Amino acid sequence: MRFETELTAEDGPNIDHLLRTVYPTEFEAHLVESLRTRRIMAAEHGLWDQGALVGYIAYSPVTIEGMETKRQILGVGPMAIHTDYQGTGLGRKLLEESLKEVDADALVLLGHTAFYEKVGFKPAATYGLTFSDDAEQNAAFMALECWQGALEGLKGRVEYDRRFYDE
Ligand SMILES: CC(C)(COP(=O)(O)OP(=O)(O)OC[C@H]1O[C@@H](n2cnc3c(N)ncnc32)[C@H](O)[C@@H]1OP(=O)(O)O)[C@@H](O)C(=O)NCCC(=O)NCCS
């Protein structure tokens, strides 16, 4: 198993294949293709097993409505572990390796809270951050300070690239 921090344009088909295998709809595959084409990704990390991409995690910049900051805040996702490899600890391994490498002050994500809290994510509400007006979505919205105090003074609704909101 090989952890990789540099994914190139040539890895596009591998990423696309993995996302289409793991997610029930094409949304994530289309989203990632669109963000990659427009060079919006801040970082992408992969996990390879004998030439096959079995794990993927993406990071892209987010802003906080009405806030000016020099701090680098990234949205995590999509993240995927190939269906054949899920539940064997690889997701956690990929996330832990990835968090050591990513260059950010703070991270946010919408996802399985029980999974992400194992690596230190907290409810984003702890920091006064929201994703939308929807209470269910906000309950699944998590944040991680890469250094203590990184989110201090930053409150409000987090905004991703508009392609995250496409139907
Ligand atoms: C979610 C996902 C990335 C987790 O990867 P994984 O390799 O299956 O997870 P791991 O085996 O590393 O699990 C690590 C821990 O998280 C827990 N966990 C894994 N998936 C979980 C989930 N969906 N919800 C809650 N807890 C979860 C495991 O039980 C395990 O707990 P333990 O350390 O106490 O044993 C993977 O299952 C996946 O790609 N799922 C489909 C796509 C997806 O949902 N992506 C994430 C969107 S937020």
Say which DSSP state 164 is in.
G
- pLDDT score for 104: 98
Buried b (16+ CB within 10 A) or exposed e, 42-80: bbbbbbeeeeebbbbbbbbebbbeeeeeebbbbbbbbbb
What number does the ligand 1 atom closest to the CA of 81 have? 39
Provide the CATH number for the domain around residue 10. Answer: 3.40.630.30
Residue among 127, 125, 122, 119 nearest 150 (CA): 127
What number does the ligand 1 atom closest to the CA of 111 have? 48
Return the number of other C-beta atoms located less than 10 Å from residue 142's C-beta: 25
Q: What is the CB < 6 Å shell around ligand 1?
A: 22-23, 79-81, 86-92, 111-112, 114-115, 118
* pLDDT 10s digits, 43-90: 999 999 999 999 999 999 999 998 999 999 999 999 999 999 999 999
How many domains are contained in the chain? 1
Q: Is the pLDDT of residue 167 over 80?
A: no
- pLDDT score for 13: 97
CA-proximal residue: ligand 1, atom 7 (nearest): 91
Cα 67 to ligand 1 centroid, rounded to whole Å: 33
* pLDDT 10s digits, 29-41: 999 999 999 999 9
For the segment 136-160, the average pLDDT, to the nearest whole number, is: 97
- pLDDT score for 50: 95
**Range(s) of the domain holding residue 93:** 2-165
- pLDDT score for 145: 98
